[in-house]
Structures are given as C-alpha cells and as structure tokens.
Amino acid sequence: MSIIVQIEPEVLNINEYADLAMHFNHDQGAQVTFTGFARQHDYVEPITHLYIEHYSQITENEIKSIVEKARQRWVLNAIVVAHRVGKVVVGEPIVWVMTQSKHRIDAYQANEFIMDYLKTSAPFWKQEHFENGESHWVVAKKSDQNKIKKWSMSL
C-alpha cells in the first residue's frame, strides 16, 4: 500500500499528485479525490486569504494517524493527503485527499472519513483575513464535530 502525506507551504500541484497516484497500483477499481478550496464565505466583508499555522512534526504525525485509522477500517490500495500551510489566497486549494481501492465504497467512505478527521483532529490553526484588514481565528463547527460522532458510532 502506498501512503503519502505532504504539508506544503506552496500552492498544491493537484495535477502532479493525481499523476503520481495513477502509478501506485494498477489493480484499483476506484479512485476518489477531494479538493478543498479557500472560499470567501458568506460574510458581509469578503475574505482575501487564510493563514494556516501548524507544528510540522506533530501535524504530520496526526495526519498519519488519521490515515492509519482509515487503512485499518477499509481495504485501500493507496492514500495521499496534501495540505497547505501559510498564506492561502481565496480560490487556491487547501487540501487534496485521494483514496484508491478495489471497490468504490471503500474509496468513498475512507476519503470522507479522512476529510472529516482532518477538519476536526489535525492540528492546523486557520485565520481568516478580510478586505477591510481585520482577521479572526476559525472556530470548529458543530456540524463537523457531529460528523466525527457518526464515525465513532459506526465502529
């Protein structure tokens, strides 16, 4: 099984990751990818960018732990997680998650599981910056926490 975890200070090259994933295993029946982008949200004042902080080794280890949980739960051929840090301008990708499996259900569910845990458990701190010069730290959403409860109940 191939596993790659990348934390990137530069714009994610999704095409490069997708091309790399195509060379992992020729016996996959399904490949699911998710790309999350920086967006302006629905505030009165538009967001210009995010600033994402992390502790390098701690964050990477936590992501690897999330990936390992997915690997134990589903039959997967490959997993790639690439996540941005630093300044991320609106419209740029923040995260790319790819799961490959012989069967689509495993690939879909593992991808969703990894994303849900990245949003709630990976130690990233996001600050939204607005056109008016103000900024604030992003707080975890209750809906994201509820998704984690769903996964823990389905054990």
Verdict on whether the full-model pTM lies above 0.85: yes
Q: Domains in the chain, please, with CATH?
A: 2-150 (3.90.1170.40)
Higher pLDDT residue, 19 or 109? 109
Please state the three-class secondary structure of the chain as a single string.
CEEEEEEECCCCCHHHHHHHHCCCCCCCCEEEEEEEECCCCCCCCCEEEEEEEECHHHHHHHHHHHHHHHHHHCCCCEEEEEEECEEEECCCEEEEEEEEECCHHHHHHHHHHHHHHHHHHCCEEEEEEECCCCEEECCCCHHHHHHHHHHHHCC
84-113 per-position pLDDT tens digit:
999 999 999 999 999 999 999 999 999 999
